[in-house]
A and B are shown apart, each in its own frame.
Chain A
Amino acid sequence: MTDTLSVAPPNPVPTKHLPGDLAIWFFILAELLAFAVFFSAYAFTRTNHVELFNLYQQTLDRNAGALNTVLLITGSWFVVLAVKAAHRDEQKAISRNILLGFLCGGAFLVVKVFEYSAKFGAGISMSTNTFYMFYISLTFFHFMHVILGMVILAILWFQSRQGAYGSHHMNGLESGAAYWHMVDLLWIILFPLVYVMH
C-alpha cells in the first residue's frame, strides 16, 4: 500500500490564478448581490407570514424543481469537462461538452415553462399573494439568467468550433464557464429556499 501511495501524483500546486477575466467576476459579484438582496427579502418577509408561505409552498411542483436541479448540475459538469478538454487541447471535446451543457440549460427551460403554464393556467399571478410574488419574481429572474447563460454558451460553442480555445487561450472559455456555474449555484440556493424549506 505504501508503495502505491508513494507513486501517487503530488497534490496540485495551489495557484493564485483567477479563472476567466476579472471583469466577469465583477459582473458575477454584482449578480450575486442582486440575488442575495432578493433572498434576504424573501427570508425576512417569510418570518412575518410563515403560515402563508408554508401553505402555498405545498402547491409548488418539487419534482420539477428537483429535476431542474439535476439538469443544471449536469450542465455545469459538462462545462467543467469542456474546460478540462481545453486544457488538453482536445478541440472536439470542448465544443461537444459546451453543446451538452447548453442542452441541459434548454431542458431546464422546458421544464420551467411547463411549471409556469400550470401555475398561470390556475390563475396565479404576482398579485395573488406575497408568496407567489416571490416565487414568480425569483424564479423568473433566475429563468432570465439561464437564458443569458445559454446565450453565452452558444457564443462559446460557436467560437470553440473555430478553434478559439486551448491550453493557451482559456480566458473567454473560463469567463463563460464561471458565469454558467453562477447560474447553477443560484438555483442550488433558490430551489431549497423557495420549494423545500419550511
Chain B
Amino acid sequence: MQFKSQAVAKPYFIAAIGLFVGQILFGLILGLQYVLGDFLFPEIPFNVARMVHTNLLIVWLLFGFMGGAYYMIPEEAETDLFSPKLALLMFWIFLVAGALTIVGYLTVPYATLAAMTGNDLVETMGREFLEQPLPTKLGIVVVALAFLFNITMTVLKGKKTAIATVLLIGLWGLAVFFLFSFYNPVNVVLDKFWWWWTVHLWVEGVWELILGSFLAFVLIKTTGVDREVIEKWLYVIVTLTLISGIIGTGHHYFWIGTPEYWQWWGSVFSALEPIPFFGMTVFAFNMVNRRRREHPNKAAVLWALGTGVMAFLGAGVWGFLHTLAPVNYYTHGSQITAAHGHMAFYGAYAMVNLMMISYAMPILNGRAANSNKSQVVEMWSFWLMTIAMVFITLFLTAAGILQVWLQRVSDTPLPFMVAQEKIVLFYWMREWAGVVFLIGLILYIASFFIGGKEEAAK
C-alpha cells in the first residue's frame, strides 16, 4: 500500500461483499418464488424480495465504487486522502442507513413505511429501483456529497491524471443524476421520462466511466503498459459511451407516451451502445497481451479480462438483442429484459468491483498478491460465477422467447400466468444455476482466508 489512507477502502469492500451475499440470497428466494408462488408468503412477498434484491445490488455496487475510489484516488493523485476520518464516518452512516432501509422493507408493509418516513412531504417512493424512503435518499445524497468532497479535494491537492478525472466525472455524474429521484411529477409519462435520467444515465452513462477508469487503473498496475497508451484508449471509450449512451436513453421512450421520433432516435443510438463495450474488451486483451511485467496477482487480471468480455456480452449483445423498436414492441418487459439485466449488471459492474477488490485487498493486507493456492480458489470462483451467470442468462432468454411467443405473438395468445406456467422448466434451471453462482461467491470470499506462501509486498 503506497498511502496509509488507502486503508479506508477495506471496510467498504467488506461491506460490499457482505451485501452482495445478501443480494444473491434474495435472488435465490425470488427464483424459488417464480416456481413455488407462495414460498415464504406472507413473511417475504415477491414484491418485497424483488425490491431487496435490486436495492442490495445498487447499494453494494455503490460501496464497491466508493471503496475502489478511496483506494485508487490517493495512488493516482500521489497524495494521502484528504480526510480518512470523514470517509470512515460516511461508511458507518451509509451502512446503518442501508441496513435500516432493508429492515424497514422486510418488517413493515411498504405503504406503512412510506407513511412513517415522510413520503407525504416529498413523494419519492414507489418507483422501481428508487423505492428508498425519503430519509435514505437524503442520506445517500449526504454520503455521496461528503465522498465527492473528499476525493475531489484529494485530487485537487495532488496530481491530476486522466484516469482520476474520468472517475471524478463518473462519480459526480452519479450524484447529479440521482437528484432526479427526488423529482416525481404526477403525470406518469413525465415521471417515467425523468425516472430514466437516474436509472439509464447511471448504468448506460456515468457508471461506464467508473468502469472504464477502474479497468484502466488495474491494467496500468498489472500490465505495466505506458500510461499514455491506456489513457488514449480510455478517452475513446468514454467518448463512444457518451455519444451512444446519452441519446440511447431514447430506447426507454418507445412506449411510454413520448413522441414517435424517439423510436428512431432510441433505436439508432442504442444500437451503437455495444461499441464502447467492445472497445473495453479489445482494450483489456490488448493491454494484457502487450504487458511488460508479470504481475503476481493473476486472479485480478482474470477479472479485468472477464469484465470486458461479460460486459460486452451482457450489456452490449443482450442489450442490442431487444433494443430496436420493432423488436422491443414484442419483447418489452419480458424475461428477455431480465436476461439482459442479469448479465449486464454482473459483467459490467459486479465484475469490475470484484476485480478492484481482488487487486486491492491483498495489498491492503500487506502483500502484493494472495498465495497461489488462494488464487486458484479465486479463479474457480470466477469461472463458477461467470458460467452460472451465462446459464442464468441463457435460461431466461429461452424463457423470454417462449413467453413472447405464447403471450404476444401466436395466433391464440395466452394470458400472462398461463404462459408463465408453460415455461416453469426454465425457471427451475435458472434457480439451480443461481445455486452454483452462490457457491462461486462463497469460494470468492473463502479465497481471501486461504493461507499458503504469500507473495511479498513490493
Contacts and interface: CB of A to CB of B under 8 A. Distances in A.
Q: Do A and B come together as binding partners?
A: yes
A197 interface: no
Q: Is the interface of A mostly helix, strand, loop or mixed?
A: helix
A44 to B, nearest CB: 11
B3 interface: no
B272 A37 contact: yes
B268 A41 contact: yes
A137 interface: yes
Interface string A125-141: 01100000110010000
A23 interface: yes
A2 to B, nearest CB: 51
A119 to B, nearest CB: 15
Interface residues of B, number: 19
A192 to B, nearest CB: 20
Contacts of B264: 41, 133-134, 137
Contact of B268 (A21, A23, A30, A38): A38
A133 B268 CA distance: 14
Interface string A53-81: 00000000000000000000000000000
B232 A137 contact: no
Contacts of B240: 26-27, 30
B236 A33 contact: no
Contact of A34 (B259, B260, B261, B268): B268
Nearest to B262: A126
B166 interface: no
Interface residues of A, number: 17
Contact of B259 (A30, A31, A41, A127): A127
A126 B260 CA distance: 9
Contacts of A134: 264
B419 interface: no
Nearest to A22: B232
Nearest to A125: B259
A28 to B, nearest CB: 11
Contacts of B272: 30, 33-34, 37
A34 B243 CA distance: 9
Contacts of A126: 259, 261
Nearest to A34: B272
Given A23-B232, A34-B243, A133 B275 contact: no
28 contacts: A21-B232, A23-B235, A26-B236, A26-B240, A26-B279, A27-B240, A30-B239, A30-B240, A30-B243, A30-B275, A31-B243, A33-B272, A33-B275, A34-B244, A34-B269, A34-B272, A37-B271, A38-B268, A41-B264, A126-B259, A127-B259, A127-B260, A127-B261, A133-B260, A133-B261, A133-B264, A137-B261, A137-B265
Given A41-B268, A126-B259, 20 more contacts: A21-B232, A22-B232, A23-B232, A23-B235, A27-B240, A30-B240, A30-B243, A30-B272, A30-B275, A31-B243, A34-B244, A34-B269, A34-B272, A37-B271, A37-B272, A41-B264, A41-B267, A127-B259, A127-B261, A133-B260
The 8 closest A-B pairs by CB, nearest first: A126-B261, A133-B261, A26-B236, A37-B268, A127-B259, A23-B236, A23-B232, A30-B240
Interface of A: 21-23, 26-27, 30-31, 33-34, 37-38, 41, 126-127, 133-134, 137
